Amino acid sequence: MHKIVAKAQLSPNVTRLDVEAPRLAEIRRAGQFVIVRRGEGSERIPLTIADSNSASGTITLIIQAVGRSTRELVAMEPGEAIQDVAGPLGHPTELISSGHAVCVGGGVGTAVVHPIAQALRRAGARVTSVIGGRSREWVIMEPELRLLGEVVVCTDDGSYGRKGFVTEATRELLAAGGVDIVYAIGPVPMMRAIANLTRPFGVRTIVSLNPVMVDGTGMCGGCRVGVGNETKFACVDGPEFDGHLVDFDLLSDRLTTYRELEQAATACAPGACRVGLNKI
């Protein structure tokens, strides 16, 4: 059992949970994730380890409440315990130790950018973070990222930072020159747009993919993606890949596979859909 020691609301549907997991706090590396199961019969949920504190033995999980299982998870309060937290899973982020790295985060993808920016700064790279949200209330983790380097905030409606998309701010940084690598995490259309933007500049671009995962060990095959005309499994081969090689059309298609089942699970009464979710 993993006790929740702190909870904070970061945006209207994004919650931060600090959870006791001493071993994970010691050994996790940037880019890795965990599979969380709230309790017996609950759905397995993959979540990036957004931060950790080895002294307190805690890891930080940033959760976007978009479906039944994530809403149940963020409804938990400090003092309650999550039954299973398995990890660390996935390959750690490929880092540069010098030069200029641009970390682009869209929405809750900013939580995935944070540990990468941390690790880059520790390795010796210069970090610029470009983060975005629909409006000011949807921008997350800006203070944490400002501790690691320059931050450019973009909002769709211009209510905070600069008006526009993260792609526009990234284009300006690329045009200015001196960018050695880009890390882009967020909605699939955003990651695709950033990869297309960096290609003519010849700047390596790493994206973090979010296909459906079940076991996190490569056994179920649910998280298969196309990368460089090969089939890869995001849980064991990723979750980070060269954005210039990712088949974003296939990824987008696979993300809709269980949409009807997810909608049905959200609509049914509490407890009535647990078996169905596990079969998914």
What CATH number is attached to the domain comprising 85? 2.40.30.10
Under a CB-based contact definition with an 8 Å cutoff, are residues 120 and 127 in contact? yes
Residue 259: predicted pLDDT:
57
220-274 pLDDT tens trace: 777 788 899 899 888 888 899 999 999 888 888 877 655 555 555 555 555 555 5
Instruction: Provide the 10 A C-beta neighbour count for residue 216.
Output: 22
46 assigned to some structural domain: yes
Q: What is the mean pLDDT of residues 108-126?
A: 94
pTM score of the predicted model: 0.86
The full length of the chain comes to 280
280 assigned to some structural domain: no
Same domain, 160 and 122: yes
274 assigned to some structural domain: no
Mean pLDDT of the chain: 88
Place of tokens 């809709």: 256
50 assigned to some structural domain: yes
Q: Which domain holds residue 160?
A: 93-205
Residue 224: predicted pLDDT:
83
140-170 pLDDT tens trace: 999 999 999 999 999 999 999 999 999 999 9
40-79 pLDDT tens trace: 877 888 899 999 999 999 999 999 988 888 898 999 999 9
53 assigned to some structural domain: yes
275 assigned to some structural domain: no
Alpha-carbon distance of 280 to 277, in angstroms, equals 5
Residue 279: predicted pLDDT:
34
**Domains held by the chain: number:** 3
Cα dist. 109→73, 82, 130 in Å? 19, 23, 11
106 assigned to some structural domain: yes
Residue 260: predicted pLDDT:
58
139 assigned to some structural domain: yes
Dihedral, CA of residue 120, residue 129, residue 126 and residue 228, to nearest 10: 60
**Nearby residues of 200 by Cβ (< 8 Å), 6 or more positions away:** none
Rg (CA), the chain: 18
State the number of CA atoms in the 13 A half-sphere of 211 facing the CB. 31
State the number of CA atoms in the 13 A half-sphere of 64 facing the CB. 16
Residue 278: predicted pLDDT:
40
Please give the single-letter amino acid code of residue 26.
E
